[in-house]
Structure 1
Amino acid sequence: MPAEVKILVEGYTTADAKAENRGEEKTCATISLIRDKDLAIVVDPGVLESQQILIDALKKERLALEDVDVVCITHSHIDHYRNIGMFKDAKALDYFGLWNKNACEEWREYFTPNIQILKTPGHDYTSITLFVSTDEGVVAVCGDVFWKENYPKYDVYALDPEKLENSRHLVLRMADWIVPGHAGMYENVRAPFKEDKEQPVKKSTDTQPFCRKCHRPMQKNERCLCQPSICIRCCECNLDCDLCGCSHKRK
């Protein structure tokens, strides 16, 4: 019997470098539920105004927190994993393995006959996508491989734009439906990116990264090593930080 995918909380984000947004960033990851026979998986229980929102969404599916078997994190950005601690009895699945309390084992690519897990790096280096076989076709729960429907075309926060482009093509080849990182599920019509498939992949120098805090464009040497999505002016590391040294660079 095929599995099913439902959206528990539809996400959103204002972290758009094209938007002239000089105010506070507002972000919520899309939280999904995958059910495969008796297995219940919650994907990306990120940041919420209240955890009760997620509790109520699960209740509508006749589930309590303790009924969730696995909580999956598509990548290591806090807006996607902030509420993982709500699921005290569940195993945790991320890029590095399947965690049961303090024990970790490698996950199988075919997690179940209906769920395939593949690494899809680019937005960050720890990204994974779950490809779920359903009655409606294959649903890709892909985190920030796409933020919204085929958007953004060029992710200014991507750590490796070339790998991200390859990951996007993989998702678009395999999926009939896509659950992006910050919007509702949509049908994969394959047109917008398929046309560019034979074109050379954009290198990282073709995109201009923007600081997620001040929204100013950053040169490569202005990115914080600890937090590459912010600039050295916005870094809050201590003066003696051994890794980034942003406090010294500002002088």
Structure 2
Amino acid sequence: MTDAPLGRSAVYKVLTTGYVGSTGPGVAATVSYVSDAGRHVIFDPGMVASPDRILGPLAALGLGPGDITDVVLSHHHPDNTMNVGLFPAARVHDHQVEYRGDQWSNRDAEGYELTPSLRLIRTPGHSREDITLLAGTDTGVVAFAGDLWWHAQGPADDPVAPDRAVLRASRLRVLAAADLIVPGHGAPFEGGESTPL
């Protein structure tokens, strides 16, 4: 598991479990909160029925929008980015840049460490720009994988994927590094023999 972060001190909470197509009334992103070493991270603040679906669970943790230090976007599809503006003070991370206010710093996401327990890796497939946040926790590595999987059932054939072989390679990479996967539009799941590749 060379991709896995060395640290194991991160904690996380899924703030809202998303859905898509037959699993829900429309489309909503799975939005997660991850914390480590003073960093407060929101992963994929995308489409939800209302902002309170993100801010309410965050408030239950004793946090407000101004407490969020970082936002990680798995890719640039609107259903995964729609609510990034809820966190105006945060650094925003994507596949090649860190944005803050009116400034940005170019850097490759591959291997970029927010902390010793939080690492970004490139995992193209659903789009060419996909990244995954790997979080080392005391129970194992959690992969916040965006739309590499929409939910535990896949889809096996992602109709949006520009290159099926690239998607499969990224899925295998995440499965090799993670004990638990948080998909883009569903509940967390453990990878196994039935996990779509």
Provide TM-score, normalisation by structure 1. 0.70
Greater relative contact order (CA < 8 Å, ≥ 6 in sequence):
2
Structure 1 residue corresponding to 2:14, chosen from 7, 31, 41: 7
Contact 2:28 2:49 in 1 (8 A): no
Q: What is the aligned partner in structure 1 of residue 190 from structure 2?
A: 187
Cα displacement (A) at 1:161: 1.2
Aligned partners of 2:161, 2:100: CA distance in 1, in Å?
30
Cα 1:6–1:101, aligned 2, differ >3 Å: closer, same or farther?
same
Cα displacement (A) at 1:95: 1.1
Secondary structure at 1:168 match in 2: helix
CA root-mean-square deviation: 2.0
Hey, which bits of structure 1, 4+ residues long, moved more than 6 A?
none
Q: Which has the larger radius of gyration?
A: 1
Matches within 5 A, 1:34-113: 34-105=34-105, 106=107, 109-113=112-116
Q: What is the aligned partner in structure 2 of residue 129 from structure 1?
A: 132
Q: What is the aligned partner in structure 1 of residue 165 from structure 2?
A: 162
Aligned partners of 1:49, 1:156: CA distance in 2, in Å?
24
Q: Which amino acid aligns with 1:3?
A: A
Q: Deviations over 1:173-209 (max 9, x none)?
A: 1100000011111122x21259x7xxxxxxxxxxxxx
Q: Which amino acid aligns with 2:45?
A: P
Provide TM-score, normalisation by structure 2. 0.88
Aligned partners of 2:12, 2:160: CA distance in 1, in Å?
28
Secondary structure at 2:176 match in 1: helix
Aligned partners of 2:183, 2:75: CA distance in 1, in Å?
12
- Listed as ranges, the gaps of 5+ residues in structure 1 are 17-24, 197-251
Q: Which amino acid aligns with 1:2?
A: S
Q: Which amino acid aligns with 1:157?
A: V
Q: Aligned residue pairs: how many? A: 187
Contact 1:45 1:81 in 2 (8 A): yes
Contact 2:41 2:68 in 1 (8 A): yes
Contact 1:169 1:193 in 2 (8 A): no
Cα displacement (A) at 1:150: 4.3
